[in-house]
A and B are shown apart, each in its own frame.
Chain A
C-alpha cells in the first residue's frame, strides 16, 4: 500500500504489513511503546486488537477509554489465556485464525481500513504445551500478514526473555525491530520459507 503509519513514537513510522518485534525492559517501558502505538491507531480510526499477558485488559481499556469508539468496538483487548493460550495450550494455527477472524470482523462489520494488532509475548515463557512452536508461529505470521491491511507488534520483555539464543531465534522471525525508540530493518530476519525449511 505504501502508506506510512504512525507508531505513536516521535519520528518513528511504519508501513502496512509490518511485523515488528519490540524489545523493552519491564512494564513501564512496555507501556511507553504500547500506549502510544494504540493511541495513534485509535486516533487514525484503525481497529486495534491487543492481547495482554501481565496486565488486566480492563486496565488498558481504562487508559484508553477517552480515545476509543466504544460503539464501534474500536479497541478489542484480550487476556493471553483467552487467545494465545486458549484451552491451556498454544496452538499456532488457532492463533493465526484468531488474528484473521479479528481482521475479517473489523473489515466486514465495522468497515475499518486497517487493523493494528499487538501481542505481549511473555506467555511463551510458561511451561505449557505448544509454547515451543513460538518461532514457527512468528515465522508463519509473515506469510499471513499480507492477506489484510494490518500491522502487528510483538512485545518481548528482555527482563523475562533472558535466553539469548531464543532471542536470536526471535530476531530471525521479525523483519522489523523496535528498540530504544528506533525502528530498524532487521538484517537477521530470515524469509519464512527458508526458516521453516531448516531442520529444527
Chain B
C-alpha cells in the first residue's frame, strides 16, 4: 500500500510538473504570436504569479537589443538568479531572470516573493523569462527587419519614381527633339507638347499674338493681354526662369538672345497640371527657343542676301548670277522694276526706324520687298507701280512724322536697266526743287526738259550753252554769295509773275525787284524780249540739271569736283564767257 501510495504521489507530482511545462509551452507560443512588447510582458508577468509564490512581478527592459556575449548587469547586482533572497535585511526577496535569446539580451524579469521559490519554481520562472526573452528578441528583430524592409521599400519607391521621371523626361526630350529635327516648326512643337500633356497648347509671339495652336477649344478671337499686362507677365516669367501661372494658363517665355521672341502657353483652367506636364512645357520651351533662334538667323541671313543682291543690282551685276540668287530667295526678278530713292528721316532721326517704316510702307502699298539703306537714303527696288505721293505719305505715317522726299526712276523690263533707273531716281530727287513738280515725290519721266537735259550725251556742250548765257551772273553769285541765277530761274519759271516768283523764293517782292534790276545791270539782258527769256530759262534749267548730275557724279566718287548748292555755279577753271551787252544773247 505504502509503495502504491508513493507511486501515486510521484505520478501526481509528475502530472503537475507536466501540466506546468505544458502551461509554459502554451504561453511561450502565445508570446511568440504577440504583436507588442507590452503584451509579452503582461503575459509573462501574469503567468509568473501562477508559477511561483510571487507578491510582485515586473520587467525591466533595455532600450536597445544588446548582442549576446556582452555582459549586462542585473538590476539586482547579479548576472543571473541564484536561489535565495537578494537582500539581507529580512525584506521580501527579489530574483532577476534574464530576458534573452540566442540573438541578444533585452532586459530582466524580476520577481518579488515573501518566501524563496522552490528549485522547480526557479526553473519555471527562468524558463518563462527565457521564452519571454525569445519572444521579445524575435519581436525586436522582426520590427528591425520590418523597418529595414519599409526603408528598402521607400528607397525602392523613390528610385522607381526617379527612374519613372527620368524615363518620362527622356520620352519628352526624344519627342521634342524629333520635332526639332523634322523641321515641323512652331506648329509641330505645339502639337508635341499637347500630345505629351493632354492640355491645349499655344505658341505666341513676343507681343502675345497666336502663332500656333494644338488641342481642342481654340479660343476665337485669341485673347490678348494689354501691353502693360503683357510686359509685366513677361518680366515675371523671365525673373522666375520657369513657366509661371497666369489666369487659366501656364506661360513660359523664349529668349534665345536678348529679346523675348515667343512664348509657349499651356491652358490649364482647372489648375491640375502635374510636375511632369510642366516639365514637358519647359522642354518644349527649349525647343521653341531653338526654333525661334533658327528662324531669326534665317531671317537675318535672308536679309543679308537680299541686301547684297539689291546692292549688286543697283551697281550692275551678272544677270544669271542675280537671277539664281533671287530664285533662292523665291523672288521673281524677271519682272519690270524701277528704282525709288527715298530721302528723309523720322522725328528722332533714327535711321533704323526710318528704314523699317519705308519697308512697311513698301510692303503695304504695295511697292516692293527689295530695299536697302545707302547712306542717308533708302533705295527701293519697286516691282509694282503706285501713287508715289501716296507712298511718301504712307512712309511718313509709318514713321509718325518727320521728313521724306522721293525720286522715282523709270521702269525697265530687265535688271540691266536697274542701275540706270537708280541714276534717274537720284536725278529726279536732285532736280526736284528746280523742276517745280507737285509735291515731294518726283518721277524722272515727269521732269520734262530736265529729263532731256539729263540725257544729253555731251554735257560739255550744254554746259557751254549755259555758261554762254549765265556766266556774269554765275560769277557775281560766286563772288558775292548771291542768288541771282536762282532768282532769274524762278522768275522765268513763273512767267515773270512777281508775286509767284517772290513766294517761290521766300523773299519780299521788293527784294525780287531789286535782284532783277541787278540781273539786268550785270547781264545786260532785256528780260522782256521773248527770245532772250527762252534762252535764259533754258540756260537756267541746263545749269540746274548739270548741278544735279555733277553732284550725282561726285557722290559716286567718279569726279573730283565738289557739289555746289542748287542754282550756284560749280567751280570751274575756265574763264567766264563774256555776255553780249545787247541783251540778245552771247
Contacts and interface: CB of A to CB of B under 8 A. Distances in A.
Contacts of A158: 30, 33-35, 39
A188 B29 CA distance: 13
B51 to A, nearest CB: 11
B367 interface: no
Contact of B43 (A24, A167, A180, A187): A167
A168 B27 CA distance: 9
A21 B45 CA distance: 21
Given A179-B30, A180-B29, A185 B22 contact: yes
Contacts of A3: none
B35 A25 contact: yes
A184 B25 CA distance: 10
A185 B21 CA distance: 12
B35 A187 contact: no
Contacts of A184: 22, 25-26, 29
Interface in A120-161: 158-159
Contacts of B370: none
The winner among A159, A162, A168 for most chain B CB atoms within 10 A is A168
Contact of B50 (A24, A159, A186, A188): A188
A62 interface: no
Interface string A159-200: 100111101100100000101101011111000000000000
Contacts of A167: 30, 39, 42-43, 46
A37 interface: no
A178 B26 CA distance: 10
A165 B35 contact: no
A16 B229 CA distance: 87
Contacts of B47: 168, 188
A164 B29 contact: no
Contacts of A162: 34-36, 38-39
> Interface range on chain A: under 10, 10 to 19, 20 to 34, or 35 or more?
20 to 34
Contacts of A168: 42-43, 46-47
B33 A187 contact: no
Interface residues on B, range: 20 to 34
Interface in A1-57: 23-25
Contacts of B30: 23, 158, 167, 171, 177, 179
Contacts of B38: 162, 164
Given A159-B35, A188-B50, A164 B22 contact: no
Contact of A187 (B22, B29, B36, B41): B22
Interface centre among B20, B27, B40 (most CB of A within 10 A): B27
Contact of B45 (A164, A180, A186, A188): A164
A162 B38 CA distance: 8
A23 B38 CA distance: 17
A171 B39 CA distance: 14
A180 B45 CA distance: 23
Contact of A163 (B22, B23, B39, B50): B39
Interface in B1-51: 19-20, 22-23, 25-27, 29-30, 33-36, 38-47, 50
A171 B44 CA distance: 13
A83 B308 CA distance: 100
Given A167-B30, A167-B43, A168-B46, A188 B23 contact: yes
Nearest to B46: A168
B458 to A, nearest CB: 118
A179 B34 CA distance: 11
B23 A164 contact: no
Nearest to A185: B22
Contact of B34 (A164, A165, A185, A188): A164
B29 A179 contact: yes
A188 B26 CA distance: 9
A167 B29 CA distance: 13
Nearest to A179: B29
A164 B26 contact: no
B61 to A, nearest CB: 14
Contact of B23 (A23, A165, A187): A187
Contact of B26 (A25, A163, A165, A187): A187
B81 to A, nearest CB: 22
Nearest to B33: A158
Contacts of B19: 187
B521 to A, nearest CB: 132
Given A186-B26, A187-B23, A188-B23, A164 B33 contact: no
Interface string B38-71: 1111111111001000000000000000000000
A171 B46 CA distance: 11
B46 A25 contact: no
Contacts of A163: 39, 42
Given A179-B26, A188-B50, A23 B33 contact: yes
A23 B50 CA distance: 21
B33 to A, nearest CB: 5
A184 B23 CA distance: 10
Contacts of B46: 164-165, 167-168
A195 to B, nearest CB: 13
Contacts of A23: 30, 33
B42 A165 contact: yes
Contacts of A159: 35
Interface in A75-99: none
B493 to A, nearest CB: 114
Please indicate which of the listed interface residues B40, B46, B50 has the most CB atoms of chain A within 10 Å of its own CB. Answer: B46
B26 A180 contact: no
Contacts of B43: 164, 167-168
Nearest to A168: B46
A25 B20 CA distance: 26
Contacts of B26: 171, 177, 179, 184, 186-188
Contacts of B40: 164
The 9 closest A-B pairs by CB, nearest first: A164-B42, A168-B46, A187-B23, A164-B43, A187-B19, A164-B39, A159-B35, A165-B42, A162-B39
23 contacts: A23-B33, A25-B33, A158-B30, A158-B33, A158-B34, A159-B35, A164-B38, A164-B39, A164-B42, A164-B45, A164-B46, A165-B46, A167-B42, A168-B46, A177-B30, A179-B29, A180-B29, A182-B29, A184-B29, A187-B20, A187-B23, A188-B23, A188-B50
Given A163-B42, A180-B33, 7 more contacts: A24-B33, A25-B35, A164-B39, A164-B44, A179-B33, A185-B22, A187-B22
